[in-house]
Structure 1
Amino acid sequence: MKILRSIGTAAIVAAIACSPAFAQSAGVSNQRDMQMNAASRQQLIDAVIKEVNNSYVFPDMAKKVETSLRHQQKRGFYDAIASAQQLSEVLSDALQAATKDRHLRVMYSEAVIAGRKSSDERSPEEAASYLAMMRSNNFGIDKIERLPFNIGYLELARFARAKEMAETLAAAMTLVAHTDALVIDLRNNRGGDGAAGLLLASYMFDKRTQLNDFYYREGNRTEQRWTADVVPGLRYGGTKPVYILTSKDTFSAAEDFTYALKNLKRATVVGETTGGGANQGDNKRLLPNFSLFVPLGRTISPVTKTNWEGVGVMPDISVCASDALRTAQLAILANIAASENNPDELGRLNERIGQLSERTTGRITCG
């Protein structure tokens, strides 16, 4: 058994440039707070309402947000909040309570926010800093392992931007290409770049396949999203079993990938119902120290004609997240054993199944 926690990109010399998609920005921790007064609170609330009305994918829900914030403001709900960080958190809670949309949130930054329009318009310094951070995290690829009986295991903590992640992902997929079944662990994946999820999905099919549609409020337009015709490295192919592990923390782009492969019957989902964030968007600058992550569009499955917003992606095999890997292995091994004619190999399979069956968490409910 061999575990590779960091994969050298030299294994794959071909790289691709994927068109940019929506990328979520991580919050800044341990930053100095800023004092708010009545005028600055009013300015921020006005800016939030204006941007939500201008950009949010659901115009009718944007009006509901405005009504809710104005009502709370009239009742003096925000009057005692002097902390910029606290106000951004309280406003985020209010937005999400009004819309049930966990993507919609206000963010405070000690550093002045550049006046760019989107996350894809980073300054050279920001781009270099982002790339260095992603490299230090191996572009979200936490672990690759070959489990007993040639089962591949790939753990992704996030989806980095596809353009930067492509080479490392190609190396990872090449290493698992010859396994007989693949487990993709998204239990700790809170999302990232939807284009990276699309790239990963492209390895799982033998021919060009439509994954979903994406509706944009701006321009009232819909785009179809298909797997790539060509991927760097080796395809996994469209016939070998694929299992996706989920938890209640699996969110956004990780849910997008899971929902598409589940509905296309390309993967079996094992674990817990996911977080329920289907409306993808981008950061919008509100004021020098505040921005708003606002959903600009929504995913629509060609199979279900809807998405997982607010309800999450339900697993095919429902177990606690802590038991998901063991459960997926048991399902794979049971399928192998069902067609195994060699008594010695069948004995080894049953021994492994017995070992995994004994490894229970002892939990009755998921924590």
Structure 2
Amino acid sequence: MKSLFIHLLLFVIVFKAEVFGQKKINEKFKKETISKIDLLLHEHYVFPDKAELIVSHLNKSLKEGEFKKQELIDSFAVALTKEIRVVNGDKHLGVWPAFAPVKQQENSTTDYEMYFKNYTDTRKQASGFKEVKILDGNIGYLNISFFLSETNITIDAYMHLLANTDAVIVDLQNNGGGNPKTVNYLCSYFLESNLLINTLYFRQGNRKEEVITHEVNGKKKIDVPLFIITGPKTFSGAEEFSYNMQSQKRATLVGETTGGAANPGDVFKINSDLEIFIPTGTGINPVTKTNWEGIGVIPEVKTSNENAYTATVDLARKAAEIYRNKKALESKKLYDELEIIIKQEVQSHSEKNDEKMEQQITEIFKKGIDLGLFGEGDVNFFGSQNIKNNPIAAEYIFKSNTVLYSKSPMVYLAYGDMLELNGKRNLALINFEKSIALAEEQKAPYLEGLKMRYEKAKNNK
């Protein structure tokens, strides 16, 4: 299923109207064009009753001479689009000059020139991602111009940069839409997996397609405060992302009401000179039981386009502070649990208790990591804090890090150091060897230092 915005991108940016839109037309061409549009709408438009009304209106407009003054392809396409939308204001309905007229297609040199321009212009658009950064207050900011297909790897990279931020702003103020699967992939970063967020109904085959969130190749941000900047140019797929987050009460929208185009569809050829985008389906949100067609997505915080960014950053800073405080309390709770376990070990030291303590310590840190409270360095810090007063507890803390971060050379180094300190030289050497093997595999810059540490431990009798 093609997206309206992707097609418009090819047309507006790459194959502009001045290239293919200057062909002169006559009344016969206009009549035949409207006749073909009638057939296409009757066959494909998701709302058959509206198709009948649109067709009737087009024929009436032709009869009344509404298209008399249009003598060129581009102006005729604009006029047709205007009249097609009169009946129900469907902003996805649109007519424009064809991708490439037949005469142009016959010229291989022109084909290459068109391809080259398409390639370079698409590259300049950076796959639809305009900007990503971390603002003061540890706020992630992601500005997306449009949702292109096959950009999940880019999304993963950008979300990795924002993985530890305390609030996220997704700026869709000038996003014209794009590929539904890409929209769903970004949604999946902010929602639990296996959650139904939309159902698409398609007239052809009378079929339904459920849109369900899924796993992502990165760290999900399920509870991080999320803000979305919207405006009148927020369109189609960008509206879907905004509407999904709003209906799930997952985000706060700031700015102006969006464009109001909810119906997905496809491009159909009218003739060798013109194409039409016809919505072939419509969305049904599981929460609202409707969509944003003709209404737009209405933000909770209404402000002008000019003030939307500043207003959103202010809200995000306050939310980030609250989120940090909340996480700090959760972290303190886990730390207190860890202290209780360590104190119990001191009071009743035995091999059985040591095994239980080891398991409990690993579970606590795993829980903390899953909640985004601890990282590899934090676990090592907790271990170092117990080296002096409780070396056994410290050993198990360092060991838990090798379970939780099994691909990190440094956790095996720290665990080996602790084992050596506790007189377990042979086990320490095994972990130093594991550290070296991982560092070699990863081509770590500190490999030589690990080897020197291993030799020192091996010779220390």
- TM-score w.r.t. structure 2 length? 0.63
CA contact (8 A) 1:211 1:302 kept: yes
- Residue equivalent to 2:43: 54
Equivalent-residue separation in structure 1 for 2:126 and 2:93 (angstroms): 28
Counterpart in 2 of 1:227? 213
Quick one: distance in 1 between partners of 2:238 and 2:199? Answer: 16
Task: Select the structure of larger CA radius of gyration.
Answer: 2
> Aligned ranges for residues 1-367 of structure 1 at < 5 Å?
22=3, 24=5, 25-26=7-8, 27=11, 28-29=15-16, 30-32=18-20, 33-109=22-98, 111-112=100-101, 133-161=121-149, 163=150, 165-229=151-215, 231-232=216-217, 234-337=218-321
- Residues 174-205 of structure 1: CA deviation (Å, up to 9, x unaligned): 11111111000000101111111111111112
Structure 1 CA distance, aligned partners of 2:98 and 2:79?
15
Question: Whole-Å Cα distance in 2 between the matches of residues 31 and 125 of structure 1?
Answer: 12
Deviation per CA, 1:149-198: give whole Å up to 9, x if none: 1000000011112x2x1211211111111111100000010111111111
**Is the CA contact 1:36–1:84 (under 8 Å) kept in the aligned structure 2?**
yes
Q: Unaligned 5+ residue runs, structure 1? A: 1-19, 115-122, 342-367
Structure 1 counterpart SS, 2:31: helix
How many pairs align? 310
Residue 196 of structure 1 aligns to a residue whose secondary structure is helix
Deviation at 1:54, TM superposition (A): 0.8
Structure 1 CA distance, aligned partners of 2:87 and 2:144?
32
One-letter identity of the residue aligned with 2:311: T
Distance 1:224 1:83, change over 3 A: same
How much does 1:129 deviate? Answer: 7.0
The one-letter code matched in structure 1 to 2:318 is: A
Contact persistence 2:198–2:286 (CA under 8 A): yes
Q: Is the 8 A contact 2:258 2:296 kept in 1?
A: yes
Instruction: Tell me which of the two structures has the higher relative contact order, counting C-alpha pairs closer than 8 angstroms and 6 or more residues apart.
Output: 1
Change (3 A) 1:137 1:267: same
> How far off its partner does 1:218 sit?
0.6
Deviates more, 1:103-112 or 1:176-185: 103-112
Please give the root-mean-square deviation of Cα atoms over the aligned residues, in Å: 2.3
In structure 2, do the counterparts of structure 1 residues 129 and 299 end up closer, same or farther at CA, with 3 Å as the change threshold?
farther
Question: Which amino acid in the other structure matches residue 195 of structure 1?
Answer: K
TM score, norm. by length of structure 1? 0.79
Aligned mates of 1:109, 1:86 — CA distance in 2: 13
Amino acid aligned to 1:62: A
Query: What's the counterpart of residue 360 of structure 2?
Result: none
Range that drifts further, 198-207 or 83-92: 198-207
User: Would the alpha carbon gap of residues 240 and 124 (structure 1) be closer, same or farther in structure 2, given more than 3 Å must change?
Assistant: farther
